[in-house]
Structures are given as structure tokens and as C-alpha cells.
């Protein structure tokens, strides 16, 4: 009987780690998100390699990242307002239906030999626009399904799926390039997006529709209210500032990985995919650790610590000349991005009032949308100088910027104080 106690404790710990999966709606959402995340990483890898092969231009490769993310900057706030004003499930179904259509069109162009470079930018721009418009809704739906008590675990598990896709997507894309070419890879992307569309269509969200009083306000007034709310909330402001730093200075390195893999590490497309997958593996491990946390009260510390670890990993990666060293370094970088990625949405969801949650998430989308400007800067300077130098410079600037934000807002790393839904509002929602 004594031996059964550790087993029982392990079972309880596993149930706690994966408790959000007890909600059927969340399972559908998680699977759809995982397929969409995987498709997005596959698309980035496939198109970056294709354009590098066709043009041999670091700048044109970097434009893949620019067109992928610039809609988040232009439409992120609109997506946040839509999350507060319209039925979220219908919005998700509409955007993903558009995404499936775009994937089918590019697959057709590739298979018929009619593909041109601008087609890649157009396809990834459409995908990015869909992503920008529905990301706040997908995040808000997590809170709709799980509530305050389950949101940290649910977002962490969603981060597990996102980071698993960062491992699977590039690796699968690299293998498919080698075996079937870019066209075969896009057939798989289209299948994944179609399955995700069906899952989102079948999703049933408790009271995800708009409140009547919001229809009486204009979109511009909704946006202004969101700006005012965020400006007065130090926790959300610090989260947004760090998100801008990471998206401008850290994540654009991904577009340079094919160039570094080919020209510095001297490996083929398959090993390039494995190199990108190493970051995803590290991020997956970190996300599982966060999901397994019994009680997480200092979300800001995890957020800042993960960001710092990722930037240090990027600095070391820029110094590596050996493939065997670059793999574990990107694993470490991925471990850091897990803390950053899992906490940014969680902190917003916990710190925002119920009626401001969608707009606060829209502001987060706007901060994420600054990433394409980092991609443009990296692409232009990499063409003029060298990709390795630019990556190293970005890492150092990121570390200095992170330290500066913490000096200005030291309270960010204190105990998280979530905003609770009032009993009257909870009764109204029910």
C-alpha cells in the first residue's frame, strides 16, 4: 500500500497539469490552434527556403517575416474590438475559411508552375491578416471556456501546442522540401488548415457574443477606451513594452536561419528544419513545466526571466560556427521563449477587466505586430553587412532594453493581482 502513494501523487499531478483538457470545447480549440500553429511555421519555412533558392537575397527572405506579421500591426487593434463586439466563433470560422482558400490557391499555383515570388508574399499576407483579426478572439475564448481559475493552465497548455508546432512545423517542412518539394508541403498545410476550420466551426462557446451596450458605441470610441485603459495599467504596459522588444529584436532571427544554415553551418534543408525545430523543442519543454506548476503567482518574473534567457541564447547562437553547438543553443533559446510566450497572454487576461479584455488583447496584437519592422531592419542590414553581425547586435540591444524596462517598472515582477469577475456580472453571463 505504501508504494501506491507516489503513484497516486503522480496521477494527481498529471491531472493537474492537463486539467484544461477536461473541457471538451477547449480540446477542440487546442487541436485547431495546434494545426494552425504548425501550418504557420511550415509556411514560414517553406516560403523562406523557396525564395532563398529563387533569389539568393537575404532581404527578400526577410520580407516573408514582414508580410507575415505586418497585418498584426495594422489590424491587431481591430481584432481586439471585434473580440468584444461580435460572436467569436463566427469570426474564427470566417477567418479560417479565408485562410483555407488562400492555401488552396497557392498550392494550385505551385503545382501548375505559375508561381511567382510575389504570390508568396500575397499568400502569407492573407494568412497574417486572418491571424491578426482572430488572435484576440482565440485568446479570449480560452477565458470564456475555462474562467479565471483555469486560464493559467489553459494558456500554458495552448503554449505547449504552439511550441510543439515550432518543433514539428519547421522539421516537417524541411523533410517535405527534401522528399516532395515545396508543393507537397503546401498540400499538407492546406489539409491542416481545413481540419482546423472544421474544429473551430464545431466549437460552442458559452456567451461569446457581444453585449448590447457595445453596439451603441462606435469602433473608434471602443479603440480609444482600450488605449486609455492600457495607459493606466502598469502591468499591461510593461507586458506590451517587453513584447515589442522581443518581436523587434529577437524573433526576426528566424528568417535568417536558412541563410545561416546554408552559408555558415553548411547544412541542407532537412538539417535546417531540425535546427529550427530545436527551438521548438526547448519551448515545448518550458511550456510543459509552466503548465505543471501547482500555483504560479509571479507571472511577471517568469515573463522577464524567459525573455532574458532567450536573448542570451540568441547572443550565443550568433557566435556559433558549428551545427552541433547551435542545436543546444537554440534549445536553450526556446526554453526562454516558453516563459515569454505563455505569460504574455496570461498576464493580459488576468490584469484586464472583463469588458476590456478583447481590446487589451488587441493592444497585445499591436505590440506583436511591430515584429515586421524588425524583420525589415534585419533583412536590410543583413544584406548590407552580415546576418551574424545583425543577430548579435539585436541580442545585445534586447538585453539592454529589457534591463531599462525593469528599472522603470520594477513592480512588474511582484505578485500578480488578477482582476476577478464580479458576482453580478458572472450571473449575467450565466
Q: Tell me the pLDDT band of 429, cut-offs 50, 70 and 90.
A: very low
| The pLDDT of residue 423 is above 60 | no
Task: Give the per-residue pLDDT at 122.
Answer: 92
- Angstrom distance (rounded) from CA 217 to CA 75: 19
Spatial CB neighbours of 106, under 8 Å, sequence gap ≥ 6 = 115, 119, 120, 123, 186
% of the chain surpassing 70 pLDDT: 87
The tens digit of pLDDT for each residue in 280-338 reads 788 888 878 877 765 677 788 889 999 999 999 999 999 988 999 999 999 999 999 98
Task: Give the per-residue pLDDT at 328.
Answer: 92
H helix or E strand, kind and range, residue 11: helix 4-17
- Angstrom distance (rounded) from CA 224 to CA 221: 5
Task: Give the per-residue pLDDT at 6.
Answer: 56
Task: Give the per-residue pLDDT at 209.
Answer: 45
| The pLDDT of residue 348 is above 80 | yes
Q: If we measure between CA atoms, which residue out of 337, 332, 318, 333 comes closest to residue 391? A: 318
Buried-state track 202-227, b at ≥16 Cβ within 10 A, e below 16: ebebeebeeeeeeeeeeeeebbebbe
Domains and CATH numbers, the chain: 19-204+227-419 (1.20.1250.20)
Q: Tell me the pLDDT band of 427, cut-offs 50, 70 and 90.
A: very low
Task: Give the per-residue pLDDT at 220.
Answer: 65
- Angstrom distance (rounded) from CA 201 to CA 319: 47
Task: Give the per-residue pLDDT at 13.
Answer: 54
- Angstrom distance (rounded) from CA 60 to CA 58: 6
Mean pLDDT computed over every residue of the chain: 81
- Angstrom distance (rounded) from CA 256 to CA 388: 9
Q: How many CB atoms lie within 10 A of CB 425?
A: 13
What is the average per-residue pLDDT within 122-148?
A: 84
In degrees, to the nearest 5, what angle opens at C-alpha 70 toward C-alphas 233 and 314?
80
Task: Give the per-residue pLDDT at 7.
Answer: 55
The tens digit of pLDDT for each residue in 363-417 reads 887 888 888 888 788 878 877 778 888 899 999 999 999 999 999 888 787 776 6
Task: Give the per-residue pLDDT at 345.
Answer: 80
Task: Give the per-residue pLDDT at 218.
Answer: 59
The tens digit of pLDDT for each residue in 184-213 reads 999 999 999 999 999 988 887 765 444 444
Q: If we measure between CA atoms, which residue out of 295, 424, 428, 364 comes closest to residue 139? A: 364
Q: Return the half-sphere exposure (C-beta side, CA atoms, 13 A cut-off) of residue 56.
A: 1
Q: Tell me the pLDDT band of 70, cut-offs 50, 70 and 90.
A: confident
Amino acid at each position: 500500500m505504501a508504494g501506491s502513494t507516489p503513484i497516486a501523487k503522480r496521477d494527481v499531478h498529471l491531472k493537474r497539469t492537463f486539467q484544461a483538457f477536461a473541457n471538451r470545447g477547449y480540446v477542440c480549440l487546442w487541436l485547431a490552434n495546434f494545426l494552425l500553429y504548425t501550418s504557420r511555421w511550415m509556411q514560414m519555412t517553406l516560403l523562406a527556403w523557396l525564395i532563398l533558392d529563387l533569389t539568393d537575397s537575404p532581404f527578400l527572405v526577410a520580407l516573408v517575416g514582414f508580410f507575415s506579421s505586418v497585418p498584426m500591426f495594422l489590424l491587431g487593434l481591430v481584432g481586439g474590438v471585434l473580440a468584444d463586439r461580435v460572436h467569436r466563433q463566427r469570426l474564427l470560422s470566417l477567418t479560417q475559411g479565408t485562410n483555407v482558400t488562400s492555401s488552396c490557391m497557392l498550392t494550385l499555383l505551385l503545382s501548375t508552375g505559375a508561381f511567382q515570388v510575389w504570390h508568396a508574399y500575397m499568400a502569407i499576407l492573407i494568412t497574417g491578416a486572418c491571424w491578426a483579426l482572430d488572435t484576440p478572439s482565440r485568446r479570449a475564448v480560452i477565458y470564456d471556456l475555462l474562467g479565471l481559475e483555469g486560464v493559467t493552465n489553459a494558456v500554458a497548455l495552448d503554449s505547449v501546442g504552439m511550441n510543439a508546432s515550432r518543433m514539428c512545423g519547421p522539421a516537417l517542412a524541411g523533410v517535405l522540401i527534401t522528399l516532395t518539394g515545396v508543393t507537397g508541403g503546401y498540400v499538407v498545410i492546406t489539409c491542416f488548415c481545413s481540419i482546423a476550420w472544421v474544429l473551430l466551426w464545431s466549437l460552442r462557446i458559452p456567451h461569446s457574443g457581444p453585449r448590447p451596450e457595445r453596439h451603441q458605441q462606435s469602433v473608434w470610441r471602443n479603440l480609444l477606451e482600450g488605449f486609455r485603459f492600457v495607459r493606466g495599467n502598469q502591468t499591461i504596459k510593461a507586458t506590451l513594452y517587453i513584447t515589442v522588444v522581443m518581436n523587434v529584436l529577437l524573433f526576426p532571427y528566424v528568417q535568417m536561419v536558412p541563410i545561416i544554415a546554408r552559408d555558415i553551418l553548411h547544412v541542407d534543408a532537412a538539417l535546417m528544419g531540425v535546427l529550427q525545430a530545436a527551438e521548438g523543442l526547448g519551448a515545448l519543454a518550458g511550456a510543459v513545466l509552466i503548465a505543471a506548476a501547482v500555483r504560479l503567482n509571479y507571472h511577471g518574473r517568469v515573463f522577464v526571466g524567459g525573455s532574458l534567457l532567450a536573448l542570451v541564447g540568441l547572443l550565443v547562437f550568433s557566435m556559433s560556427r558549428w551545427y552541433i553547438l547551435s542545436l543546444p543553443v537554440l534549445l536553450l533559446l526556446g526554453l526562454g521563449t516558453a516563459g515569454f510566450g505563455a505569460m504574455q497572454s496570461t498576464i493580459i487576461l488576468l490584469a484586464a477587466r472583463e469588458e476590456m479584455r478583447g481590446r487589451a488583447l488587441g493592444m497585445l496584437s499591436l505590440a506583436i505586430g511591430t515584429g515586421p519592422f524588425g524583420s525589415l531592419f534585419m533583412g536590410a542590414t543583413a544584406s548590407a553587412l552580415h546576418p551574424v553581425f545583425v543577430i548579435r547586435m539585436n541580442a545585445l540591444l534586447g538585453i539592454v532594453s529589457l534591463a531599462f524596462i525593469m528599472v522603470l517598472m520594477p513592480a512588474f515582477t511582484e505578485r500578480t493581482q488578477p482582476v476577478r469577475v464580479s458576482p453580478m456580472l458572472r450571473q449575467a453571463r450565466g
